[in-house]
Amino acid sequence: MNGGVRTPQPTVILYGGGVSLACDQSGEVRAEEAHGLFAGDTRVLSTYRIEINGSRWRLLGRSRLGHGTARWEFQNPQLRDPVGDIEEGMLLFSLRRRVDEALHDDLAIQAFTPRRVRLRLTLQLDADFADIFEVKSESLPPRMAALRIPNPQGMTLRYKRDGFRRGLQAHFVPSGPPPTIVGSRVLFDVELPPGATWTCCVEAVPEIGDRAIQLTHDLHEPEPDPLTETGTLTIRADPLLEHAFNRGQADLHALGIPQCGHPRFIAAGAPWFLTLFGRDTLTTALMAGIDGSWTAEGALAALGRWQGTQRDDFRDEEPGKIAHELRQGELTHRGILPYSPYYGTHDAPALYCLALWQAWRWTGKRNLLDAHLDTAHQALQWCDEYGDRDRDGFQEYATRSPKGYRNQGWKDAGDAVVHGDGTLAEPPLATIELQGYLYAARLAMAELLMAQGLADEAARMQAAAVHLQRMVEERFWMPEQRYYAFALDRDKRLVESIASNPGHLLWSGLPTTERAAAVARRLLASDMFSGWGVRSLSSANPAYNPLSYQLGSVWPHDTAIAAAGMWRYGLREEASVLLRAILEAARAFEDDRLPELFCGLDRACGFPVPYAKANSPQAWAAAVPLLAAQLFLGLLPDAPRQRCLPWLPAWLSRLEVRGIAIGDMRLDIALVRHDDGTEIETLDTTGMEVIHGITEAPLWGAPLPMLPAQSTNTA
């Protein structure tokens, strides 16, 4: 471990009700930073600073009270008022903040002075109404049409252009005289006798279009537990797993976005991705199935509505393609950016099929197949007709949009795919994990087709999967390096760099057992394994940069997927090394929360170093400990009959999970680790059969916790 060090993210992120806030450690929002209150993909609050008699308060401490609530305590610096000096530390300033559909601050100044003091508290509040992509890219053109309108309750900030409208209604309720508003400054004149307290409520409510958001909660109240209504899953285990599991589960539920008539879908993360994301939403559902079928069912319904119907090169849309990203900001509204929605993800169609397969496995609901099987059919048809651009049998991507993503696998940064010499690989690119996803999707669809009585079509789908498997083994394997290539480039050359992507190939079950073991060993080598997780790119590559987005950083979900891949091949000791490392990283971060990614520096530096602009929370990072728990349980859903092949590593002595939903049934299970293996201590079921007792059998070759397997795949 790291000696008890807790590492905060550089930015404090609060969110709730589709609104997110990014501020600094003192609670300030600064327009020149990647800060702001974001609603409708717009920064509706870009500046929020509080001063006392022209000076900044001095921060004493901060605490988080939930995903949308935090509290700060400050004291005054040396000040003067008309009577004389006010010594440092004579005033306590408290700020309690909650973000849920709006921003609500409760301010309080308590005087411990020997005399009456006169103070001026200045709140600077402004909005630039920048599109969220402008904030992320730090490209902020001025918006001259923004208006500030004082009113008796406070002030309204508004922006209108070409039918696009955003605003912010700010209300102030002080315990003393009302404030004076001068431009973007709100001035409160405060007189406090010894021992007295001044208070003020500040409420900032976003306007989307012509209307302000209608608040459904009293923001003075503590925020509700996101698990209160839907969370029935409980865990007891070593704190290393239990704390991360509870945090991840709470974050997943808090990231849930309601949709009419269907379960919630999981937004990708806060503050940048509090919206529907094809790849992220589906991958999270595949990782977090133990928390319930809502994760997959919500994703299937939300993304099915946006399935592509035409060819639109600006948005990279094609018939059958699953959407990548849906936005509401000004640049999208005006057609400058293509996110209405944008379809530039190559893996979402296959992942959609896998999410449907997983929902079927967890529930056995035929109505799911009735509702979504046609969408999955069209998604696989897209893979054949459009995903294979040159008809060579492999999936390869290249954007047709002038605003499209250069890379359209999960590593979607423009510089993410590099050759062994560090130079950029040119698209169209066939990355290795795309082939694995399609292989698994075809096997999944074969099972679903069999469930529908379509045996001949299922056999053809399975045969297509086996054919792709053989092609990948022949074309991507690098015998000298005992590893799979990152990709094929535009000229069908191997991209021979050592990257983390082959870990996803293990997850899909495509490699032979011998090659899977070789990949596992390579992922655990010192150039790939930082001690906290798997680096996205080998530290031996000339392009390696541990501070970058995807050229050597550690992504928790990437590490967990590699561990799940090792697990399915019976490489549980190797998998447990990765799972322990990433759970220890969670323990080292504030609130036991795994961020989207962190820097790929070696563990010898003492703590996992945050990545500056990471989403925290982020959906598939939050799902990591849930996937870990399912792997330890060895739970293989197949409603209504289950398989349970548990195994605990030496560092996890006990694991108990209660309330696992499988169809309309429930499973409670407790495991204990002994010197001679893992024992099922208790197993309580309602209305289901659970096959167990084979604790040392490898998972490879069986229906697995995540993806289907082809039983004929032998070494």
Which domain range does residue 561 map to?
Answer: 234-636
pLDDT at position 642 is 76
The CA distance from 303 to 324, in Å, is 9
pLDDT at position 454 is 95
Summarised one tens digit per residue, pLDDT across range 227-248 is 765 557 999 999 999 999 999 9
Sign of the dihedral defined by the CA atoms of residues 238, 3, 523, 426, in that order: positive
Task: Answer yes or no: is 265 within a domain.
Answer: yes
CB 346 within 8 A of CB 410: no
| Alpha carbon 309 to chain centroid, angstroms | 28
Whole-angstrom CA distances from 482 to 118, 419, 520, 521 are 74, 17, 10, 10
| 195 and 303 belong to one structural domain | no
Positions of the chain with pLDDT lower than 70, given as ranges:
1-5, 228-231, 640, 693-715
Residue 307 token pair: 């399935």
Q: Which of 371, 497, 512, 369 is nearest to 432 (CA)?
A: 497
| 199 and 294 belong to one structural domain | no
The CA distance from 59 to 47, in Å, is 18
pLDDT at position 2 is 47
Angle at 669 between CA 667 and CA 673, to 5 degrees: 160
Give the end of a domain, one of 618, 636, 654: 636
pLDDT at position 690 is 81
| 38 and 168 belong to one structural domain | yes
Q: How many C-alpha atoms does 74 have within 13 Å on its Cβ side?
A: 22
Domain count, the chain: 2
CB 295 within 8 A of CB 358: no
Task: Answer yes or no: is 122 within a domain.
Answer: yes
| 445 and 528 belong to one structural domain | yes
Task: Answer yes or no: is 677 within a domain.
Answer: no
CB 580 within 8 A of CB 559: no
| 161 and 298 belong to one structural domain | no
| 164 and 285 belong to one structural domain | no
Task: Answer yes or no: is 44 within a domain.
Answer: yes
Summarised one tens digit per residue, pLDDT across range 133-182 is 999 988 888 777 789 999 888 999 999 999 999 999 999 999 999 999 99
Give the end of a domain, one of 161, 180, 212: 212
Whole-angstrom CA distances from 526 to 190, 529, 597, 602 are 60, 5, 19, 9
pLDDT at position 709 is 59
pLDDT at position 56 is 97
| 595 and 515 belong to one structural domain | yes
Task: Answer yes or no: is 654 within a domain.
Answer: no
Residue 109's domain is classified under what CATH number? 2.70.98.40
Give the end of a domain, one of 574, 604, 636: 636
Task: Answer yes or no: is 171 within a domain.
Answer: yes
pLDDT at position 510 is 96
Residues 6+ apart with CB under 8 A from 446: 458, 459, 461, 462, 465
Residues 6+ apart with CB under 8 A from 120: 52, 53, 54, 187, 188, 189, 190
Task: Answer yes or no: is 7 within a domain.
Answer: no
Task: Answer yes or no: is 289 within a domain.
Answer: yes
| 192 and 79 belong to one structural domain | yes
Bond preceding residue 640 cis, omega within 30 of 0: yes
Residue 362's domain is classified under what CATH number? 1.50.10.10
Residue 426 token pair: 């040119």
> Strands (DSSP E) along 470-615, which ranges?
477-478, 483-484, 487-488, 494-495
| 127 and 272 belong to one structural domain | no
The CA distance from 675 to 677, in Å, is 6
| 394 and 527 belong to one structural domain | yes
Summarised one tens digit per residue, pLDDT across range 86-123 is 999 999 999 999 999 999 999 999 999 999 999 999 99
| 207 and 263 belong to one structural domain | no
| 202 and 336 belong to one structural domain | no
